[in-house]
Structure formats: C-alpha cells, structure tokens
Amino acid sequence: MSDFRTPLSKVRGHGAAREGVHEFISHRVSAIVLALVFPFFVYGLMKALPAGYDGLMAWIGSATGAFTLLVFITAGLYHGRIGINEVILDYVPSHDARTFFVLINSLVSFGFWLMGVLAILKIWLGA
C-alpha cells in the first residue's frame, strides 16, 4: 500500500502510443504555424510567379522567401508525419508492422525535409 495514486492518475498520459498528449499538442502547434505562414507563402508565390522561373528563383533567393519556405516545409512535413503516424498507429494491427511503417514514415519525411532545406539553402546562398 505504498502507492497512494488513484487508478486514473496511474494511466493518465498513457495513450495508445504511450506518448500522452505530446503528439496531440505538437500536431496542433504545427497546424497553427502552417496557418500563420501560409498567407506569406501564397503572397510570395503570387508576386514571384508572374515573372516566371527567374521571379521564383529571385523570391527564394531573398531572405524573406527562403525563411518562409523553410518554415513552411518544416512545419508541413512535421505536421504530415504526425498525421500519418496517427493513421498507422490506429489501423495497423501488428506491432512489428507498426514499428516498420512508423520508421519508414519518419525516414521519408526527414529525407524530403533534408532535400527541401538543401535546395532552398543552395538557391538562397547562390552556391
């Protein structure tokens, strides 16, 4: 009888993925970041695209365009990774398959993020 916690307090914070509410809050924060950055992203594209390819490269080459794209890609891929992980955790019955698909999802998301960041930095820094 050394444990005075109630049964509810013992299980609080242990969801299906044993992550508690961290994934839920992270998903909502990334959605808020996307909602805040999306108007800047659309405005930048609308200003850049009438000039064609050179206008787009000039926008990405500016500090504002590069920062907007970096934040948009980072938040978007993170938001997508969390959403796909939820689908995997909810609908894949086998523990081994769940682990495999979550790992693949994380690696693919990181790979796309790395390619996007490197491309933006290359354009921005003029390398």
Per-residue pLDDT tens over the stretch 43-95: 999 999 999 999 999 999 999 999 999 999 999 999 999 999 999 989 999 99
Give a yes or no: residue 117 inside a domain. yes
In whole angstroms, what is the distance from residue 126 CA to residue 87 CA?
40
Residue-range definition of the domain harbouring residue 79: 74-127
SS3 62: coil
Helix (H) and strand (E) counts in the chain? 5, 0
Q: Does residue 46 form part of some domain?
A: no
- Res. 9: pLDDT tops 80: no
**Count of structural domains within the chain:** 1
* Average model confidence (pLDDT) across the chain: 90
Is 65 within the bounds of a domain?
no
Q: Is residue 113 part of a domain?
A: yes
In a domain, 112, yes or no: yes
Domain-embedded: residue 103: yes
**Rounded-to-integer distance, Cα 118 and Cα 127, Å:** 11
Residue 52 lies in a domain: no
Give the whole-angstrom CA distance, residue 103 versus residue 101.
5
Is the full-model pTM beyond 0.85?
Answer: no
**Does residue 13 belong to any structural domain of this protein?**
no
Token match 């009888």: residue?
1
